[in-house]
Structure 1
Amino acid sequence: MIIYTEEKIFTKEQVRELFLSVDWISGEYPERLYKALMNSSTVYSAWDGKKLVGLVRTLDDSELVAFLHYALVHPDYQGQGIAGILIEKMKEKYKDYLYIELMPEESKNAAFYENHGFQIMEDGVAMQLCNFSNKH
């Protein structure tokens, strides 16, 4: 049985393991990743016992805009609806904001978010300034 919480009860090692399970570079910086999550406006996490199996985080301005960043589920738990539940919990929390925005890093994930009510901005374009090298 998967349990969901907004409490930030995860450890550095748990988030490192989760992020590396989906090959996200953030997992290679466990200290910084943990600090970033602890300082995020909201983090919902999914647990199978003591195992962190999913996570979504949001940064917000406390009134108008919430930016959903990081929605991931451990590969062993994908396809069970966990990500959808995490997204719906975040949508409920921010239902009174004017916008909940996100930028899927892979266009193949757009359909998942569309299934949860998000729309592609008609004239929008994703932009990013990358301050690290992918070469290790």
Structure 2
Amino acid sequence: MVIKYKKIKNFTGKELQNLFLSVNWDSGNYPGKLKKAIKNSHRVYSAWDLDEDNGQKKLVGLINSLSDGVMTAYFHYLLVMPEYQNMGIGKELVSLMLAEYKDFARLIVIAYDSEVEFYKKCGFELGEDKSPMFVTYLKT
């Protein structure tokens, strides 16, 4: 297995759907919207499993950012297919994004409670006296 990282925004709806549904994210049910959302992101890094034997490639991870381009970047999506988790792919995707925005004053992620420890290992800290708030029709 060879994992390659790419800084691209062009994905098929099927690639995104397969990745998002692999981690049970409801967004995967909206591949057309996902494709547009990713294309409109400020930055996107993706992880690909390149099968050199048969020339196949598979999208196995992705991180994106929304940003004002100067001061603040919000990392919205970070996901890695379950069979590729615990291999350092998520950590590498976060590292690529942190390097991209190293001079920004504020980098933000809203983490599921089960993922807080992962993000702490990547250098994030819990905000004091802050709570994420949402208006959404998505389940996850």
Alignment of 1:48-87 (within 5 A): 48-49=49-50, 50-87=57-94
1:117 aligns with 2:123: yes
* CA deviation after TM superposition for structure 1 residue 129, in Å: 1.1
Structure 1 residue ranges (4+ consecutive) displaced by more than 6 angstroms after TM superposition: none
* CA deviation after TM superposition for structure 1 residue 9, in Å: 3.7
Distance 1:48 1:61, change over 3 A: same
The aligned counterpart of 1:128 is 134
User: Percent identity, aligned pairs only?
Assistant: 42
SS of equivalent residue, structure 2 residue 46: strand
Normalised by the size of structure 1, how large is the TM-score? 0.94
The aligned counterpart of 1:93 is 100
The aligned counterpart of 2:113 is 107
| Alpha-carbon distance between aligned partners in 2 of 1:28 and 1:9, rounded to the nearest angstrom | 18
Contact 2:49 2:58 (C-alpha < 8 Å) held by counterparts: yes
Please report the RMSD computed on the Cα atoms of aligned residues, expressed in angstroms. Answer: 1.0
* CA deviation after TM superposition for structure 1 residue 8, in Å: 2.1
Bigger relative CO (Cα 8 Å, ≥ 6 apart): 2
Q: Which amino acid aligns with 1:121?
A: G
Q: What do residues 31-84 of structure 1 show as CA deviations (whole Å, max 9, x unaligned)?
A: 000000011001100000210000000000010000001100001101101000
Q: Which amino acid aligns with 2:108?
A: E
| Alpha-carbon distance between aligned partners in 1 of 2:68 and 2:21, rounded to the nearest angstrom | 29
Greater shift, 47-56 or 121-130, is seen at: 121-130
Aligned positions, number: 132
In the alignment, structure 1 segments of 5+ residues that lack a partner are none
